[in-house]
Structure 1
Amino acid sequence: MALLERLLARPPQLPLHLPAHGRGRALAPPLHQLLRQRPGRWDLPELPEIGGPLESEGAVAEAQAAAACLLGAERCWFGVNGASGLLQVALLALAQPGERVLLPRNLHRSLLHACLLGQLRPVLFDLPFDASTGLWLPPTPDGLAQQLEAALAQGPLAAVVLVSPSYQGLVGDLPGLIAVVQRRGLPVLLDEAHGAHLGLDPRLPAGGLACGADLVVQSLQKAAGGLAQSAVLLQAEGDEARTAAIERALLWLQTSSPSALLLASASVSLAYLHSPPGHRQLERALSTGVELRRRLQQGGLPLVVNQDPLRLCLHTAAIGINGLDADAWLMERGVIAELPEPGCLSFCLGLAPPRQVLRLLPRRLQQLRRAQGAVPLLPFSRPPLPALAEPELPLGQAWRAAQQRVPLAEAAGRFAAEPLCPYPPGIPLLIPGERIDAARAEWLQQQQRLWPGQIADTVSVVAD
């Protein structure tokens, strides 16, 4: 009963974490109305009048067609396994077994799972790094062009994946990046999990479809007020072969009994976000975010410059605090952040920020600085990674091999046997099949000290 007790517990004073509906405050009114009905009446199978994501008739098919029209896509599919499941679907639709795909170092690990399942060869490109925050930054078009040319010199590619926005609300030159890839005749899969709201207000950058991406995946719990696990895959243009490949991959990876509630969440949250009332709700949330940022900066609190006012990122390293320590201190005082990292602490304001956030969060962060602050932390070490790298041992072979755990200090020269992912649970610091050289082993030991409780002092390697 421990889980149930947690769900029934009184919420904290300032829940500033995902889902973006803010524990129900920003749920679309029709979805809120549905959830107020008798419990369970919405837990339905694929009845003929309801259908499912792969059915040509029924309410789901109609809702998907309406969403595609609303968002300017040729086709749209709802998913009930989160953005993770639809990213996997999209990548498997773009590449055949044995083909190479170009992926950024800040990829979500679900894409690695897709490479494993589809027998694809991941080629990883490095990203700009900010030593003061410890964050990977968006790539530049010129940098991506160089890495893409280097990757193509080693063999053909089937597709390129980009991530925008990042978890911290960072957005680069997305039109320029997509153009770089498409000039070489390659499709772009955009992981836009955190960006369903982009392009809907002048204070926000444009979204992936408007920038020309071929396939876009959005998580509707991260930026559209949907329930957790509801997501959408958008296809920009009609391509019968690609459409068939997507639906085949959906058949492989999605449940045959999709939740009618989650399908309704996808439909309703998108429709409401793009409606006049949804626009007004977003405008209010953005105004709160802009005002909160102004008050914090006025109070001398350092913030990471980003492009999404709904993601507030405190630069904890600048005030001498590890973000994980700051998170623990705030959590004891009823402030729940979304993402702690060694140099930063990110808050998700959501589509209906708590009423007391403008008053209470600046106060709590000033108290944090007085209680925990010190001299700024030393700059973070850049990951010792090549600009371009393909695992030396095939991904599937390394991940399925017999493995053993060795101390990080003794890992040099060994092949990684599984991903190493501190919080957030998704961005790997180590890929199966990569050889851990001495510099990487030393850097991982530094990371272990920076991520207390998140990185073990041993690592899984392929057994001798």
Structure 2
Amino acid sequence: MPSLLELLRPDRRLALHLPVHGRGAALPPRLRRLLRQSPGSWDLPELPEIGGPLEAQGAVASSQARLAEVMGVDHCWFGVNGATGLLQAGLLAMAQPGEAVLLPRNAHRSLIAACELGGVMPVFLPVPFFSDRGHAGAMTVEGLRQSLDPWPDPGRRIAGAVLVHPTYHGYCAEIRELIELLHAKGLPVMVDEAHGTHLAFASGEGCPVSALAAGADLVVHSLHKSAPGLAQTAVLWHRSERVEHGRLQRSLARLQTTSPSALLLASCETTLDWLQSSSWTWWFEARRDEAINLIDALRERGVMLHPGDDPLRLILATAEIGISGLDADDFCMRRGVIAELPEPLCLTVCLGFAKHRGLAKRLAMIWEALAREGDGVPLPVIPEPPFQSPSIPELTPDQAQRHPHCRRRLAECADQIAAELICPYPPGVPLLIPGERISADRCQWLQSQHQRWPDQVPGMVKVLA
């Protein structure tokens, strides 16, 4: 097995995965110039002139204040432990221990961890499910209205709500209307827009609206999943009308490192500055046009794609030719193409913002070879999971973790309370969280998932003893 250092050497394989800078090809120009300097010269601590995201003085504080003003919000914080840490800080600023938050069923596992850390009860709201793809779509306004009528009753105050827009696969929600509906209910709204940073800086027609423009109180952007920054960089935007500044600042202080990387902080600033430039507008529109043309070319060549809202994410419908996305991923790897997200019924590739010459021909050839591997009989669809109504766990995740537990075969877990998280990663969307009672139909659905995805959905589960 090669060492990690050896694995970081230049790689000839085609990177259709995150980060979206494509192994440096689409990094902001100023950041590329910095990385050509003497190695390690940028590995600095929080020197007084640099400061940090939570410091009142220094270059970081000045940059954050400037960007907040430009984006029309009250505050901005850079993050150097990904969108994860900022999402967790936002949730814990909205909800006190003993309170509850509304979460879509396709919320990222980092938010479940935040509930566990803060003694918060998650109240899950259903989202559409695509049986032919085996994954969730984006929340709709009508679906949210039905979920809130009657009002969910977790036996405690509901302190806020979280939305996901767009999803990992690029499905976009009716974000403005969703936020307005939740605000009308008196709730602050945080939006996990980790996969939609580019929406906040898109100027052309045809791009979905960003949660930032739609009036969300907190928005978390990844700067490597959907913007061309270095991995682990993110930003949190804050409007203080519904989420108090001091609580958010304290929450960030609990969860952010006290030794942030100066390089990652510089990546945050440089990436956000580039996203506001005319050079980026040209670059983004060129990549988006190329992606739209690529989709048309692939379909003309017989490649089956599921429709989505973001042309920079392609969802290959591998199940239609009798091949699982997991097997298709292995097949692509052997042919020098690294995709982003393999699942039982499909394979998602992330085009990112690098140029990819000859990509249509290459992907079409791989698809033709894949089709020869399969028997042409479509794989059976995945039944819709039993998540069609709001769901309230019987215990908060932290309570469930503290109880004595035992491990049982999944088939024996009907009517038991889960004591662990079942969460295929990627995409990091939990199928079961600690504290949820496993109904008989849920148990049966999880067993079917285990058969398709044994490496990600275990056959043995921890339940309360």
- TM more than 0.5: yes
Alignment correspondent of 2:39: 39
The structural deviation recorded for 1:154 is 5.1
The structural deviation recorded for 1:152 is 4.3
Alignment correspondent of 1:363: 365
Q: What aligned pairs does 1:49-448 form with structure 2 within 5 A after superposition?
A: 49-153=49-153, 156-199=157-200, 200=202, 201-235=204-238, 237-239=239-241, 242-372=244-374, 374-424=376-426, 426-448=428-450
Tell me, yes or no, if the aligned pair for 2:199 and 2:210 is still in contact at 8 Å.
Answer: yes
Distance 1:55 1:150 in 2: 44
Closer/same/farther in 2, CA of residues 420 and 311 from structure 1, 3 Å limit: same
Deviates most, 29-38 or 372-381 = 372-381
Cα deviation per residue 1:139-178 (whole Å; 9 max; x = unaligned)? 2112102212334455531101000100110002111111
Closer/same/farther in 2, CA of residues 72 and 351 from structure 1, 3 Å limit: farther
Distance 1:355 1:277 in 2: 21
Deviates most, 133-142 or 109-118 = 133-142
Distance 2:186 2:315 in 1: 37
Distance 2:281 2:332 in 1: 32
Cα deviation per residue 1:50-95 (whole Å; 9 max; x = unaligned)? 1111112210011112222333322110001100000001011111
Tell me, yes or no, if the aligned pair for 1:26 and 1:225 is still in contact at 8 Å.
Answer: yes
After the TM superposition, which segments of 4 or more aligned residues of structure 1 sit over 4 Å from their partners? 152-155
Q: Does 1:18 align with 2:14?
A: no
User: Taking structure 2 as the reference length, what is the TM-score of the superposition?
Assistant: 0.96
Alignment correspondent of 1:2: 3
Q: Name the SS for the 1:222 alignment partner.
A: coil
In structure 1, the gaps of 5 or more residues are none
Cα deviation per residue 1:311-355 (whole Å; 9 max; x = unaligned)? 111122222221111111111111111001112111110011432
Distance 1:88 1:307 in 2: 27
Distance 1:71 1:89 in 2: 21
Deviates most, 17-26 or 376-385 = 376-385
Cα deviation per residue 1:416-455 (whole Å; 9 max; x = unaligned)? 1111011315211001011112211111110011114222
Cα deviation per residue 1:280-307 (whole Å; 9 max; x = unaligned)? 1111211111111001111222212111
Tell me, yes or no, if the aligned pair for 1:323 and 1:343 is still in contact at 8 Å.
Answer: yes
Deviates most, 426-435 or 297-306 = 297-306
Tell me, yes or no, if the aligned pair for 1:51 and 1:59 is still in contact at 8 Å.
Answer: yes
Distance 2:441 2:448 in 1: 11
Deviates most, 78-87 or 341-350 = 341-350
Deviates most, 149-158 or 452-461 = 149-158
Tell me, yes or no, if the aligned pair for 2:123 and 2:154 is still in contact at 8 Å.
Answer: no
Counterpart residue type for residue 196 of structure 1: T
Q: Name the SS for the 1:103 alignment partner.
A: strand
Deviates most, 239-248 or 420-429 = 239-248
Closer/same/farther in 2, CA of residues 92 and 414 from structure 1, 3 Å limit: same
Counterpart residue type for residue 393 of structure 1: L
Deviates most, 149-158 or 427-436 = 149-158
Over the matched positions of the two proteins, sequence identity in percent amounts to 51
Tell me, yes or no, if the aligned pair for 2:175 and 2:214 is still in contact at 8 Å.
Answer: yes
Tell me, yes or no, if the aligned pair for 2:83 and 2:220 is still in contact at 8 Å.
Answer: yes
Tell me, yes or no, if the aligned pair for 2:122 and 2:396 is still in contact at 8 Å.
Answer: no
Tell me, yes or no, if the aligned pair for 2:401 and 2:434 is still in contact at 8 Å.
Answer: yes
Tell me, yes or no, if the aligned pair for 1:168 and 1:306 is still in contact at 8 Å.
Answer: yes
Tell me, yes or no, if the aligned pair for 1:132 and 1:380 is still in contact at 8 Å.
Answer: yes
Tell me, yes or no, if the aligned pair for 2:183 and 2:189 is still in contact at 8 Å.
Answer: yes
Distance 1:59 1:289 in 2: 37
Counterpart residue type for residue 50 of structure 1: I
Tell me, yes or no, if the aligned pair for 2:217 and 2:242 is still in contact at 8 Å.
Answer: no
Q: Name the SS for the 2:237 alignment partner.
A: strand
Cα deviation per residue 1:241-270 (whole Å; 9 max; x = unaligned)? 611111101110001111111111111111
Tell me, yes or no, if the aligned pair for 2:130 and 2:137 is still in contact at 8 Å.
Answer: yes
Distance 2:30 2:216 in 1: 31
The structural deviation recorded for 1:395 is 1.7
RMSD: 1.6
Distance 1:112 1:79 in 2: 19
Q: How many residues align?
A: 461
Q: Name the SS for the 1:76 alignment partner.
A: strand
Distance 2:226 2:36 in 1: 23
Distance 1:106 1:145 in 2: 17
Tell me, yes or no, if the aligned pair for 2:116 and 2:396 is still in contact at 8 Å.
Answer: no
Distance 1:151 1:227 in 2: 42
Tell me, yes or no, if the aligned pair for 2:321 and 2:371 is still in contact at 8 Å.
Answer: yes
Distance 1:430 1:168 in 2: 20
Distance 2:381 2:242 in 1: 50
